[in-house]
Amino acid sequence: MKLKKEMTCIVCPNGCKMEVIYGDSISVKNALCTKGEEYARNELTNPVRNLTSTIKVDKGVLPLVSVRSNKPIPKEKMFDVMQYLKGVVLEAPVGFHQVVCENILGTGADIITTREVKREV
């Protein structure tokens, strides 16, 4: 059986409006690049998202450091990861791309910092 679905690809700012035909196999129309098909496949089976947030920093020039997952995590785990990150506090100095949490909640993704925060003087 073939089913049809409209999907907006979120991989890049182009935001291709794709027509996804799926069933036994998947085919994608109106995507400007091949990443669209991968995105569509994930959306239908296991939707994933990059997570970006902040983590508390103690004794830093800023009270927070921005972080992200180093690979997309399952959509349904977003709020669980947020809840977990609430309890994490780092002590400054915090480095750029420092790994904060490895394999966060078993998702296979690490949480890494996206800036540095120097220690308060």
- How far apart are the C-alpha atoms of 100 and 89, rounded to whole Å? 10
Q: Which stretch binds another protein (CB under 8 A): 20-28, 71-79, 87-95, 101-109?
A: 71-79
Nearer to another protein, 41 or 56 (CB): 56
Pick from 55, 58, 71: nearest CA to 115: 55
- How far apart are the C-alpha atoms of 88 and 104, rounded to whole Å? 12
Nearer to another protein, 1 or 75 (CB): 75
Binding string to another protein for residues 1 to 30, with x set by CB under 8 A, is what? -------xxxxxx-x-x-------------
Among 27, 52, 102, 119, binds another protein (CB under 8 A): 52
* Kind and range of the H or E run holding 102: none
Q: DSSP 3-state assignment of 5?
A: strand
Nearer to another protein, 18 or 22 (CB): 18
| CA distance to 26, 35, 39, 121, per residue, from 15 (Å) | 19, 11, 12, 44
Rule CB under 8 A: say whether 66 interacts with another protein: yes
Residues that bind another protein (CB under 8 A): 8-13, 15, 17, 49-50, 52-54, 56, 61-64, 66, 68, 75, 78-79, 82, 96, 114-115
